[in-house]
Amino acid sequence: MGVLSRKATCNSHGQDSSYFLGWQEYEKNPYDEVTNPHGIIQMGLAENQLSFDLLESWLAKNPDAASFRRDGQSIFKELALFQDYHGLPAFKNALVDFMAEIRGNKVTFDPNHIVLTAGATSANETLMFCLAEQGDAFLLPTPYYPGFDRDLKWRTGVEIVPIECTSSNRFQITASALEKAYEQAQKKNLRVKGVLVTNPSNPLGTSMTRDELDLLVNFISDKEIHLISDEIYSGTVFSSPAFVSIMEVLKDRNLEKTEVWERVHIVYSLSKDLGLPGFRVGAIYSNDPIVVAAATKMSSFGLVSSQTQYLLSAMLSDKKFTKEYIAKNHKRLQKRRSKLVAGLEKAGIGCLESNAGLFCWVDMRHLLSSDTFEAEMELWKRIVYDVKLNISPGSSCHCIEPGWFRVCFANMSEDTLKLAMQRLKSFVGSIAVNDRSHRDLKNSRRKFRTKWVFRLSFQSFHDREQDER
């Protein structure tokens, strides 16, 4: 056999990670209310399925966009031929407006600085190709989205060095963690080209504080490196604190037109905010025209279908629709999250306080037989195979503390979520204690429960208020 490339035969595609293995198990035995009620419930897929009715009703009211027509005239031919990597101007305009709207119009974006790509997957990889050489490194706060191992490293040869975050301060980025990561990279002889953060965070579901953002700006200024802010969940911030974009911070600190300004790049997508992952709509926004130019040319390898650009330009230009969608979507996400949190609480399980995303960062440390990743894997396997829930273990997200799991809540019906929580409750109730004495466990549970119940009570009180409004 003619030998294949090293990329083809190595493991950098990351598909052997437990993140993907759980999916595979789900595929073998997927839950269905009617046909397979004992199957595995998918809680490992960060999809937003809560607002499709809003999209469908828009489609019904806008038949032209649906059928390749503009003002009653067929534009099928024009669309079919349109392969300009600069993208459909109407779509780029609508997209930057949407991005600004999500940020409360506190910042505006220039359509000439946006590059369309086939999903955020492609956007992230393209930015690596633009900003780094093979063997260079980017620093990423842990825990992070498992897909980054493939998207940022596989074909680019770029390395990831973790910025270790812990539960001691709710996994926020600290100055010392940043410095430690930078030093780690230098010890390994890796040239650091930048930092990549996900804000709001996947898997934490939290949006970054202004302090953290300031810290980042200071750090990249000092080290003279790039900052990529993956903001694909920016439209899912459903409760306070309000989302603060990196652009806002730069603006507030009067850093426009400085060197730092040109080293900040944003990745966006409509997969999470609009719930359209299948349509492959991603974007790179950069303040550096050279990066924009290079990324635009590279986008040839993964352009957005003109058919899709046209549909979405019509949809996103409808400001009445976007306003309504953003508001209703937030409400539904918040409500759904509280249902998950309440269900977890009944099972004696807490999670990180969060205000965004399509998932919760769940604390199952008290269920581990020991404070190790082996124990985490053991627990995970039981949850997948016995409890029949596919959730994502923290180790797959490179979390440095065992016992955390990402659990999605927006990709299923309310009934399915209810069932999942019931299963979990039964499981926790039936856990036999092997390594710890029963009394120790009860004590530690009580300690945790007190802490988390306090938080949860506060949370659910807050949520109830919202509902009454």
Near another protein in 191-250, by CB under 8 A: 193-194, 224-226
Report, in Å, the least distance between residue 118 CB and another protein.
5
Choose between 292 and 387: whose C-beta lies nearer to another protein. Answer: 292
Residue from 17, 172, 239, 306 in contact with another protein (CB under 8 A): 306
Choose between 294 and 341: whose C-beta lies nearer to another protein. Answer: 294
The closest alpha carbon to 17, from 406, 362, 280, belongs to 406
Report, in Å, the least distance between residue 238 CB and another protein.
20
> Which one of the listed residues 144, 145, 233, 325 is annotated catalytic?
145
Report, in Å, the least distance between residue 336 CB and another protein.
16
Query: 32 near 277, Cβ under 8 Å?
Result: no
Task: Determine the Cα–Cα distance for residues 406 and 394; give it in Å rounded to an integer.
Answer: 7
Task: Determine the Cα–Cα distance for residues 148 and 140; give it in Å rounded to an integer.
Answer: 9
Choose between 358 and 364: whose C-beta lies nearer to another protein. Answer: 358
> Which one of the listed residues 41, 160, 225, 232 is annotated catalytic?
232
Q: Is residue 95 near another protein by the rule CB under 8 A?
A: no
Specify whether 145 is catalytic. yes
**Residue type at position 13:** H
Residue from 32, 33, 56, 467 in contact with another protein (CB under 8 A): 56
Query: 286 near 113, Cβ under 8 Å?
Result: yes
DSSP label at residue 427: H
> What residues numbered 156-195 form the site for another protein, per CB under 8 A?
193-194
Choose between 173 and 304: whose C-beta lies nearer to another protein. Answer: 304
Phi, psi of 4 (to 5 degrees): -90, 175
> What residues numbered 388-407 form the site for another protein, per CB under 8 A?
none
Long-range contacts of 96-103 (CB under 8 A, 24+ apart): 96/285, 97/316, 97/317, 97/319, 98/316, 98/322, 99/234, 99/268, 99/285, 101/319, 101/322, 101/323, 101/326, 102/234, 102/235, 102/243, 102/273, 102/326, 103/234, 103/243, 103/245, 103/247, 103/248
> What residues numbered 120-149 form the site for another protein, per CB under 8 A?
121-122, 125, 129-134
CA–CA distances in Å: residue 162 to residues 128, 173, 174, 201: 16, 11, 13, 15
Report, in Å, the least distance between residue 92 CB and another protein.
15
> What residues numbered 253-282 form the site for another protein, per CB under 8 A?
259, 263, 271, 275-281
Task: Determine the Cα–Cα distance for residues 223 and 118; give it in Å rounded to an integer.
Answer: 31
Specify whether 230 is catalytic. yes
Report, in Å, the least distance between residue 337 CB and another protein.
20
Specify whether 40 is catalytic. no
Q: Is residue 67 near another protein by the rule CB under 8 A?
A: yes
> What residues numbered 4-33 form the site for another protein, per CB under 8 A?
4-9, 13, 15
Cα Rg of the chain (Å, integer): 23
Specify whether 272 is catalytic. yes
> Which one of the listed residues 272, 285, 325, 391 is annotated catalytic?
272
Q: Using DSSP, state whether 163 is helix, strand or coil.
A: strand
Catalytic residues, by residue number, are 145, 230, 232, 272
